[in-house]
Amino acid sequence: MISDFKCVRKFLVAASIFWLLSGYQANAQSSKDIKITIHLRGVYESKISLLGLSSRTFKPITEVSGIKNGETTKIMVSKASLPGEFVLRFDYKENEASTPYPSEKYIFIYNQDLELWVSPVYCNNADSTWFQPNEKENSTFVEFSKANGKQKEKLGLLQNFLMNYDETKSKLFKEGTKEYEQRRQTYNQWLKDRTTQDRALFVSTLYGFQYVPQIPFEGSETDRIYNLINHYFDGMDFNDSLLIKTSEINKWMDGYVNLYGQLSTTAALRDSLFPLAGKTAIEKAKTGHPKVYGWMVDYFYNGYESNAIDAGMKILEPYLNDPNCLTSKRQEIARRLKGMETLVAGTKAPDIALTDPEGKRFKLYEYQPKRKYILVLFWSADCSHCVETVDAVYPWLQQTENKAKVSVVAISLDETDTEIKKWDQKIVSLGGWKNLRGEAGVRSKVANDYFILATPVMVLLDSETKEIVAMPNTPQELKAAVK
């Protein structure tokens, strides 16, 4: 998904943002590149790769090959990537003739050089793999995890007992809920104290995700869900810009959205509740660091875009002009909103001019099939959801009644050699469709004209007038639109 939004800011606004961020940056990034010294042992040789978890790309940041048993290698990590959560991957051979076998060690890196003695076969065993004695981030997190497990164990047992106890009017139940609340508050205070104690370390940012909100044990399941929603953010410090450097924040926010999902018993309810989820979360994040505020807008943009929730996209509009919202999705949101205004039922579809695989020129307004509808389908052969859509639509349109009504113009937005190869292979099974490809993918003219940011997208047209009949989000909606 794309970046760079063309907008004009007054100098005073730009200067105020710079001043604001400069105050936050002091503790938000490592002041130097970090060196990781790795002593390899216990295997014949290994390739060593460092992958970033915080970026969610899971691509190697750097890698070195052919490190032999007993050898030492050094990996440099740019301060621009720090702090963060990483995976050290070892593709090792136990002997010269072995096939490489993978193992992985999850690590934190902030502002301290690391030295690691590692046996890839047992890279997560403390007696076989260890850091230097004065290492801080990883050793502190191990110690915190052990203490946290002990703290939460009794709280969890008491919670399970109360959730399943059916005598809610009994003295035992009342005493139990009172005891639980005391323990919950004690636990949350312990978390707060540990966060303060370890404030200089990146791992302290992860502690807040463990916060336990209050639970109304006497209420219904729906009451409990609404209560969790209302108190979900109570323990979170949105002023901590390092939150967006963690991988945990995505899982944590998924948990929040899933609470609304449990309440969404119909599609209509989903389309009203999920925008409410976004509005509530963004307003909470808005009170904190501009980077966290912007990240929250990005998170909901991705969700609304992938699930085609137009009502959710509309709630993002007010945040585009807020200079404190450091979203990376300004252009995408603006384009989607423009597309929602432009591509509506009753308006003329933009023309399409592409060349098919046989070298023949195709123009939408010159295309006059003897059928009632034209389905313009934007997709990618490398997108599993797209393939699922194609595999659902194609056999339905092969049925005699439907085939007589709908012609299909399928436009691939595949770009790389691997993607195009998959497309070439897939269209062999899509006989009867007009298969085309936008050469530059989502940056192509046809994608821009139709405001395509993600696939699949379906546009159902009147074959004669080229007016938009519907913008179905699913095969089911397409079937309902074809009369």
pLDDT tens-digit readout, 380-400: 999 988 999 999 999 999 999
Residue 172: per-residue pLDDT:
93
Q: In DSSP terms, which residues pair with 409 in a beta bridge?
A: 376, 434
User: Which ranges of 287-416 does DSSP label H, i.e. alpha helix?
Assistant: 290-306, 310-316, 330-342, 384-398, 400-403
Cis peptide before 456 (omega within 30 of 0): yes
Burial class (CB in 10 A: 0-12, 13-18, 19+), 225: middle
Residue 58: per-residue pLDDT:
63
**Residue type, position 308, single letter:** A
Residue 435: per-residue pLDDT:
95
Q: Which residue has the tokens 């969700």?
A: 303
Q: Where, residue-wise, is CATH 2.60.40.1120 in the chain? A: 34-135
Q: Would you tell me how many other CB atoms lie within 10 Å of the CB of residue 3?
A: 10
**407, two tokens:** 């012609």
Q: b/e for 119-131, b at 16 or more Cβ within 10 A?
A: bbbebeeeeebeb
In 218-339, at which residue ranges do the beta strands (DSSP E only) sit? none
Are 209 and 188 contacting, i.e. CB atoms less than 8 angstroms apart?
A: no
Chosen CATH of 34-135 out of 3.50.50.60, 1.10.730.10, 2.60.40.1120, 1.10.1500.10: 2.60.40.1120
**211, two tokens:** 């916060």
Distance CA 377, CA 361 (A): 18
End-to-end CA distance of the chain: 35
Single out the residue of 148, 143, 138, 94 nearest to residue 116, CA to CA.
Answer: 138
Distance CA 292, CA 297 (A): 9
Single out the residue of 244, 313, 329 nearest to residue 285, CA to CA.
Answer: 244
Single out the residue of 475, 464, 476 nearest to residue 373, CA to CA.
Answer: 464
Residue 113: per-residue pLDDT:
97
**Residue type, position 249, single letter:** I
Report, as ranges of residue numbers, the positions in the chain whose pLDDT lies below 50: 1-27
Residue 442: per-residue pLDDT:
87
Q: Is this structure's pTM higher than 0.85?
A: no
Q: In DSSP terms, which residues pair with 457 in a beta bridge?
A: 378
In terms of phi and psi (left: phi > 0; alpha: psi -120 to 50; beta: otherwise), the region of 441 is left
Rg (CA), the chain: 27
Superfamily designation of domain 353-481: Glutaredoxin (3.40.30.10)
pLDDT tens digits along 60-89: 889 999 999 999 999 999 999 999 999 999
Q: Where, residue-wise, is CATH 3.40.30.10 in the chain? A: 353-481
SS3 content of the chain, % helix, strand, coil (to 5): 45, 20, 35
**15, two tokens:** 């200067």
